Chain A
Amino acid sequence: DSGVTQTPKHLITATGQRVTLRCSPRSGDLSVYWYQQSLDQGLQFLIQYYNGEERAKGNILERFSAQQFPDLHSELNLSSLELGDSALYFCASSVQSGNTGELFFGEGSRLTVL
């Protein structure tokens, strides 16, 4: 158990809909990262938050947004969903922003868009 909690584990929805994925980082970790894992695409970095503020942005679509709350949990909002958004979405946390330490991943949220 990494200590990072993601909900829901599985989600099936239709095109055009909106979903919210939730992540609770390890106790004491200030940094939260969101990654998207599609077939043959590895782990694509979406966005990072550090202590409530956006720290870095990757290949995140405009239809997607995220935030980190005062209790450090984070939510990833995906709207106007398309078939191609079907993927495994991982949240990871680390103690500090940009340190060379380990990223701890949650179990992921598998999104299926029909």
Chain B
Amino acid sequence: GENVEQHPSTLSVQEGDSAVIKCTYSDSASNYFPWYKQELGKRPQLIIDIRSNVGEKKDQRIAVTLNKTAKHFSLHITETQPEDSAVYFCAARSGNTPLVFGKGTRLSVIA
């Protein structure tokens, strides 16, 4: 089955700097890669997703890139703000299988 590795497990950045979180997946058939944000004590929420026919997708300060050949995808957050502090999860899915999540990255944005 699919296996998703996520790095780093913790990340601290200064407010205004960029943050990058990387994930690798094992199943070459995976075709859907979402990112979820979980604030402290709250539920995970989708922030951006990308499908395998696209290499990059951007939504304001966040962007996701996908390299199918290398089987890795990344989340980029620019101009970080304190409210970006949260745990971020990457995930992957192939076909009809359920989402497999990485173990999460705890991002702290220091004001």
Where the two chains meet, the residues of A that have a C-beta atom closer than 8 Å to any C-beta of B are 2, 33, 35, 40-45, 48, 55-56, 58, 90, 97-98, 100, 102-103, 105-108
Contacts and interface: CB of A to CB of B under 8 A. Distances in A.
Interface residues of B, number: 25
Interface string B39-82: 00011111001010000000000000000000000000000000
Contact of A97 (B34, B96, B101): B96
Contacts of A105: 43-45
Contacts of A108: 43
A70 B42 CA distance: 29
B64 to A, nearest CB: 14
Given A42-B89, A103-B46, A98 B95 contact: yes
A106 B43 contact: yes
A45 B43 contact: no
A102 B101 CA distance: 14
B100 interface: yes
B44 A45 contact: no
